[in-house]
Structure 1
Amino acid sequence: MRSGSRFLISGGDSDKLQVGEFVLAIGNPYGLSHTVTMGIISAVGRANVGIADYEDFIQTDAAINPGNSGGPLVNTRGELIGINTAIFSRSGGYQGIGFAVPSNMARLVMDQLLQKGKVTRGWLGVTIQEITPELSQKFGLKTAKGALIGDVAKGSPAEKAGIKRGDIILEFNGKKVSDVGNLRNMVAQSKVGVQIPLTIMRSGKEYGINVTTSELPKDVSEITPGNVPEDTAPEGLTGLNVMELTREISRQLGLPRDEKGVVVVRVEPGSSVEDAGLRKGDVIQEIDRKKIISLDDYIRIVATIHSGDTVLMFINRDGKKFYVTIKAD
């Protein structure tokens, strides 16, 4: 296309797409150029597909086959609303499930490449996890919506804004947060260095807070755990044995020397603890929002737990921190 020439297709607003809307997929499947197929929008905001780091796909049943990738997905007004990207198929051919990158997401990437020559992603500096029905109950939420903060990186935009572990992000820049993938995409697409309003829940109350995102760091380090001693320890919750987290064990697990808590040394197969996903080597740092500094803290707190109680634990696994709920046997 010559410099200064007009685009051959007008852009639509992919944020306004509705499920059931008719769309057309244009491409070159199997070398058959100028092929047009028709379908509907099957879903929007589709994530966890395993195709890309940041996923917010439009799902369509318009026939997409090898050769369609990179072609336009347009609405009935001829406006570009997506870029055909991939299909879900066991045979390699069309099975009624295709994915397209929303035009608004593609436009952000295009603009950054034209202006800066690279793509920059916004960064908050938090680890987040999904809100399960059990977690929503423990944190006083009416619905399982939002993203739960598991940890806040030191010196990060989130820490500077006053965000804390256990906070739940409900809104980002005026838009409701449905889940972790939704928040991750919004943060990544945010303009670096711009102040953004958030709505968070802390201790059952909603607060407004402003955060200025920075650029996503290039290097992300991963911690490899060592071996956990085979020593047994007093049993608190049924199906779980722990021991105090010493400096030597912290070193073996690749954790900071001053990390506090108790380390899981045994999980009974078939127990509710195993069902909840706890593993040998996990470090328990909180139970029901109470800090676990020593083995004595653990023993004292679990003594108050009764059969049938739902227990909220804060876990450090290989340096990754998150909450988990366990139904006490």
Structure 2
Amino acid sequence: MKVERKELPVLALGDSDGLKVGELVASLSYPFGRESSLSFGIISRRGRSQNVLAGFDFIQTNAGASAGSSGGPLVNVRGETVGMVTMASQNGAMGFAVPISVIKNIIPRLEKGEKIVWGWLGVRVSELTLEAADKLGVSPARGVFVNSVLPGQPAEKGKILPHDVILAVNGVEIDNPRELTRLISGTEAGSEVRLTIFRKGGVVQRSVILAPKPKETEGREG
């Protein structure tokens, strides 16, 4: 959206990383194109990923939880924007906002008219159970189990194999599929990532160049 007017008032950008559960927040919205609306609430939960394919964790709040509030700012008590409301439950009990820290990272690129394409690894993964960890010899039990590798995708090209256990991405340890997906799909396509893999009793390093995510894929994949 582009408007011709200049020097319009703007909200300051705050720090979503410092938000605490129970902190007071408010949302500003224009639901259904009617009168503007101000809703108060609290931060209900941080680190809530509504979709395993999301490249970040949402902020859960009961402010701006009504339908039609999407796109409005979520602000703290100082009037600083800490998120953007993006979805709400049907009963209006809770809403979800994209953290401003995520938005800050892409604003400069969007201002230049650049398109942001997030990365994709091309694996189907699951939790590493204690039984599987014991069978594979992973001690202590940690990481994400690779169920399958999709043909022709970055993981296959990077020599990732079924039954590998991914322990870390670029040195950041992971313990569940959500963490893997957040790290991978929060990295731009074309970037190289270093995977730490447990395979056949030993640890190996593999470098993979991420690709854009194919539209037809779905499920617990990253």
Aligned positions, number: 215
With structure 1 as the length reference, what TM-score do the two structures score? Answer: 0.54
Provide Cα deviations, 1:95-121, integer angstroms capped at 9, x if missing partner: 2x2211222334456555444554412
Question: Any conservation in 1 of the 2:24–2:76 contact (CA below 8 Å)?
Answer: yes
Is 1:33 the counterpart of 2:30? The answer is: no
Once the two structures are superposed, the pairs formed by residues 167-246 of structure 1 within 5 Å of their partners are 167-220=164-217
Q: Deviations over 1:42-67 (max 9, x none)?
A: 222222x46x9527321123352223
- Is contact 2:154-2:209 (8 Å) kept? yes
Q: Is the aligned partner of 1:73 residue 2:71?
A: no
Match of 2:145 in 1: 148
**TM-superposed deviation, 1:164:** 1.9
2:26 aligned to which of 20, 24, 27: 24
- Provide the residue aligned with 1:284 in structure 2: none
Structure having the higher Rg: 1
Q: Verify the 8 A CA contact 1:83 1:101 in the aligned structure 2.
A: yes
Percentage identity across paired residues of the two chains:
34
Give structure 1 regions of 4+ aligned residues with deviation exceeding 6 angstroms. none
8 Å contact 1:56–1:182 — kept in the other structure? no
Question: Alpha carbons of 1:170 and 1:79: their partners in 2 closer, same or farther (altered >3 Å)?
Answer: farther
1:244-297 CA distances to partner (integer Å, 9 max, x unpaired)?
A: xxxxxxxxxxxxxxxxxxxxxxxxxxxxxxxxxxxxxxxxxxxxxxxxxxxxxx
State the 1:218 CA deviation.
4.4
Structure 1: gaps (5+ residues)? 223-319, 323-329
What does residue 125 of structure 1 align with?
122
Q: Distance in 2 between matches of 1:168 and 1:203?
A: 10
Cα separation, partners in 2 of 1:211 and 1:178, compared to 1, 3 Å: same
- Are the counterparts in 2 of residues 167 and 201 from structure 1 also a CA contact under 8 Å? yes
Q: 1:172·1:196 contact (CA, 8 Å) conserved in 2?
A: yes
- RMSD over aligned Cα, in angstroms? 3.5
2:163 is aligned, of 152, 155, 166, to: 166
1:26 touches 1:37 (CA, 8 Å); kept in 2? Answer: no
- Aligned equivalents of 1:209 and 1:77: distance in 2? 45
- For residues 174-199 of structure 1, the C-alpha deviation after alignment (integer angstroms, 9 at most, x for no partner) is 43324223322321221222222333
Q: Give the distance between the partners of 1:28 and 1:60, measured in 2 at CA.
A: 18
- Cα 1:53–1:196, aligned 2, differ >3 Å: closer, same or farther? closer
Q: 1:112 to 1:215 in 2, by over 3 A?
A: farther
1:150–1:108 Cα change, 3 Å: farther
- Matched with 1:85 is 86
Q: What secondary structure sits across from 2:132 in the alignment?
A: helix
| Paired residue type of 1:217 | P
Higher relative contact order (CA 8 A, sep 6+): 2
CA contact (8 A) 1:56 1:185 kept: yes
1:59 aligns with 2:57: no
C-alpha contact (below 8 Å) 1:29/1:35 kept by paired residues? no
1: CA distance, partners of 2:19 / 2:173: 17
- Superposed, 1:103-122 pairs within 5 Å as 103-108=100-105, 110=107, 113-115=110-112, 117-122=114-119
- Counting only pairs closer than 5 Å after superposition, residues 308-323 of structure 1 correspond to structure 2 as none
* Aligned counterpart, 1:14: 16
What is the CA–CA distance in structure 2 between the aligned matches of 1:135 and 1:147, rounded to whole Å? 11
Q: Deviations over 1:289-311 (max 9, x none)?
A: xxxxxxxxxxxxxxxxxxxxxxx
Structure 2: unaligned runs, 5 residues or longer: none
